[in-house]
Structure 1
Amino acid sequence: MTITTPIRPDLTFDQIQVFLHAEARALDDRDWDTWLSFYHKDCPFWMPAWDDEDRLTEDPANEMSLMYYPNKQGIEDRVFRIKTDRSSATSLPEPRTNHNLSNIEVMAREGTTIRLRFNWLTLSYRYGKTDQHWGTSFYTIDTTEGQPLITAKKVVLKNDRIHHVIDVYHI
């Protein structure tokens, strides 16, 4: 695939990779405050569900989603619940995770906005058992403020037949 949009000098492909790997590392390190700093205040975080026809749902307001936060406040609330053990979905002890990213693609550049697509595999270990989750993520990032910020995040979980609750650190 040829990327027709020129690479802007203010955020190179290498810098995009560093940004994505740093976000993944914050999850692996359970550095929740750093992880939250990657998100714009208006960033929706959405993981659609697969419907009965093996198609992804398209409307988080009216169809089933595996995860949906309309903005950063929802993500912050989830992190608060993880940090304070105030959620029945919180896994205690928290699993150890290892995020692996691949096939990073710049899909478009428009002014200070960059749309990305990449694949990921997350291994998690808890109670002597290793689980794996994989899928494709679609990010929109904005570089207006200097530090890139995620302004939209869509995560497609490819192995959605799972035997436990999935959380933000699994993806």
Structure 2
Amino acid sequence: MASTVRWNANGETDVCSVYSLSDAYGRVGLSTSSLKGSLAGNAPKAMHCLDVNGTTDKDGWWDRLQALTPIDCAQPHEAEFVGTIQVGVGNAGPLPDDKVLHDWSSDACWAAVARFVGLTDAQLDSRPEMGITWDRFDKLQWESGERHQRCFALLSPGKKVRASIKGLGKGALPV
């Protein structure tokens, strides 16, 4: 809330708003109902499983991801949110180049996905149908001090599961 002095001097106020996102890349979605309580209990508005929209490379793996859209985990999906990591903590200055950000994020997200699935890093590496991705920083986020990346388990293009892969371990994918 704006201080009385600021309010009286400039007519300013501070506003804190809550938005629903339409995808994992922060695109604001439209909601026709209140978001109150939507992250409690089974968290109906939380990001869990995601439908992937992207292109594949010559080897058949994901090349460019255009959208990761939240979807009910009982519906066929190719990605799942596993958690957040911090990278570049204590690093000030300009946004690092893509290689530095990739190196920081790749190892930490790999470990987060492995833990989520219930595998070691090496065991995750032996599952060719599984990979990782994360969201990216832009210059404004970095300059504001944001150092969190969201990590996602990513399945091979066309390899859709119908349940969460949390704790799956070495088991078969729930297709």
TM-score (norm 1): 0.28
Larger % of strand: which? Answer: 1
TM-score (norm 2): 0.28
Structure with larger Rg: 2
